[in-house]
Amino acid sequence: MSVDKQTVRKVARLARIAVPEERLEPLAGELNGILAWIEQLNEVDVEGVEPMTTPVRMTLPMREDNVTDGGKRDQVLANAPKTEDGFFVVPKVVE
């Protein structure tokens, strides 16, 4: 796949990116270089290779999924401009 100046202009317009006219040709060259590199990656034989999320085999630590209030009510409410009975006080917005 080859990217030309017109394609760069169209993609920039669709992405709402302002690209000066003199930058279109160099950007096309850069995009063609990136696409060539991706085509090289497609040539690698990965038959029988298991997909990985990380090169280090490990299991993530798990914890019980318990619902709590966090135990930090007073710390959270300390930032509020006004509180009452352990709750935030906010102005009424619906009559």
pTM: 0.50
Strand partners, 88: 83
Assign 9 to helix, strand or coil. helix
The reported pLDDT for the residue numbered 72 is 87
* Closest CA relative to residue 27, chosen from 47, 6, 43: 6
Strand partners, 83: 88
Whole-number Å distance between alpha carbons of 71 and 64: 16
Q: Are strands 83-84 and 87-88 parallel, antiparallel or unpaired?
A: antiparallel
Strand ranges for 1-95 from DSSP E = 83-84, 87-88
The reported pLDDT for the residue numbered 27 is 95
* Closest CA relative to residue 19, chosen from 81, 10, 77: 10
pLDDT (tens place) for every residue of the chain, 95 residues total? 789 999 999 999 999 999 999 999 999 999 999 999 999 998 999 899 888 878 887 888 898 888 887 888 889 899 899 999 989 999 888 87
- Residue 70 is encoded by which pair of tokens? 């966090």
